[in-house]
Structure 1
Amino acid sequence: MAGSDITRSVADALQYISYYHPPDYIRSLSHAYTREQSPPAKNAIGQILLSSRMAAFGRRPICQDTGLVVVFAKVGMDARIKSTASFADLVNEGVRQAYLDPDNPLRASIVADPLARRVNTRDNTPAVVHVDLVQGNQIEITIAAKGGGSENKARFTTLNPTASVSDWVVNTVSTLGSGWCPPGLI
């Protein structure tokens, strides 16, 4: 496989996920819309569905926060990549091409040195790249664009063995308030 195939696949996948929600998500949201009894909640779900449709037809990002790129790759031990670049470099070039695409530029929000100067890289690199070596000669790449809005409401804890996970979740979620992108799914 040519290294350029990996780069192009990453770029194409990032453009695709920027304007299409997964079908199962749309089905679930549509089902929730038909069941919802509260007019304000039904209206909010309807707005999300309409926005999703507009993004898909217009081929424009669903959200202004187009995320930190996270790549999960399964690379067959017998796979051959024709390139002098590393796998991570091929992926990052795909990220660069996707975020700088003149037909649908995506918002770059990655900083080169998050603990010091915090200078935006302007092309959303580097991606977070996870590679698992597997049997065979195939390469499988799964891409996610992790938006920062959900991080604003993320919480972590260490529970005692006898503590209830569900109680902790219910108690924690009730303290979060607003500020995340709708819909908040748990």
Structure 2
Amino acid sequence: LQYISYYHPPDYIRSLSHAYTRERSPSAKNAIGQILLNSRMAAFGRRPICQDTGLVVVFAKVGMDARIKSTASFADLVNEGVRQAYLDPDNPLRASIVADPLATRINTRDNTPAVVHVDLVQGNQIEITIAAKGGGSENKARFTTLNPSASVSDWVVNTVSTLGSGWCPPGLISVGIGGSAEKAMLLAKEAMNEPIDMAELIAMGASSAEEGLRIELYERINALGIGAQGLGGLTTVVDVKVATYPTHAASKPVALIPQCAANRHLKFTLDGSGPITLQ
């Protein structure tokens, strides 16, 4: 969590640098340049990319043969890691989580609890994807249940056009389709942490309906002209993710979750050999 607080994923920086090179709008180009400069300063100074250091979301794929030598629950172990990361005296991160969201909304002061999703899988390793999701982009998440014959592309584009710039573009739009209401949201949330590969996908061409929808949405969303920080220009998204799951014949659940320009996430695997080393 400390690492992703000040290091952007390299694929995002590459995509944003390309967007900067091709941008023709002076305002948008300046906004992208400021994001890139801020990223560089954060990395060298080891200080947060953004003052909103996020809600921690963890997706864990736990091998059924893996042994965790602890009496604490998996969620408790994650929360202890969150606590230590956000209270690190060398780089304290802003605590944004409030208990009792309905009434008192008292800050927990250590950014716990995290939102933890655990899947049991084959094997003896633990694969963890950890993200710190900003409030501005999370507040723009949307869900609908379409008629089976309705266009997902039209709904997504129409919805993005109403979001404004409060989700802090340029970033990503992630779409989950199918399953149930909660499954569609989980599909979208997990897919947004996949590597940015839109340039490669366009070069190779779509080989599935999902890939075709990704390219179509990427082009249509960028054609809206929202642009960097809402200042117009060519790039609103650097990628669009689409994940699907079987669903009821009467339904087409669709979830949309934006990812902001902070884009904080990391995937790693624990194999029992010791702590991981991040470079």
1:153-179 C-alpha deviation (Å, 9 max, x unpaired): 222222222222222222222222232
Higher fraction of strand: 2
Runs of 4+ in 1 over 4 A off after TM superposition: none
Equivalents in 2 of 1:176, 1:87: separation in Å? Answer: 36
User: Residues of 2 paired with 1:74 and 1:146: CA distance?
Assistant: 20
Cα distance in 2 for residues equivalent to 1:80 and 1:175: 47
Greater shift, 156-165 or 69-78, is seen at 156-165
Higher helix share: 1
How many pairs are equivalent?
Answer: 172
Task: Give the percent of matched residue pairs that are identical in Structure 1 and Structure 2.
Answer: 96
SS of alignment partner, residue 108 of structure 1: coil
1:42-77 residue CA offsets vs partner (Å, 9 max, x unmatched):
111111100111111110111111111111111111
* Residues in 2 aligned to 1:116 and 1:34: alpha-carbon distance in whole angstroms: 48
Give the Cα separation in 2 of the matches to 1:136 and 1:174: 44
Does 2:135 align with 1:148?
Answer: yes
| CA offsets 1:67-105 (integer angstroms, 9 cap, x no match) | 111111111111111112111111100000001000011
| TM-score normalised by L of structure 1 | 0.86
Superposition deviation, residue 124 in structure 1:
0.7
1:83 matched residue in structure 2: 70
Residue 155 of structure 2 is aligned to residue 168 of structure 1: yes
Structure 2 spans left out of the alignment, 5+ residues: 171-277
Q: Which is worse superposed, 145-154 or 34-43?
A: 145-154
Q: Tell me the alpha carbon deviations over residues 120-174 of structure 1, each in whole angstroms, 9 at most, x when there is no partner.
A: 1000111111111112211121101111101232222222222222222222222
More displaced stretch, 55-64 vs 146-155: 146-155
Query: How far apart are the structure 2 equivalents of 1:134 and 1:166?
Result: 33
Which residue of structure 1 aligns with residue 31 of structure 2?
44
Counterpart CA distance in 1 for 2:160 and 2:126 is 39
Distance 1:156 1:73 in 2: 24
Matches within 5 A, 1:1-186: 14-183=1-170
Distance 1:178 1:77 in 2: 43
Q: Residues of 2 paired with 1:133 and 1:177: CA distance? A: 39
| More moved, 162-171 vs 93-102 | 162-171
CA RMSD of aligned residues (A): 3.2
Q: Check 1:134–1:177 CA distance in 2 against 1; reply closer, same or farther (3 A cut).
A: closer
- Range that drifts further, 148-157 or 124-133: 148-157
Cα distance, 1:154–1:139 mapped onto 2, change above 3 Å: closer
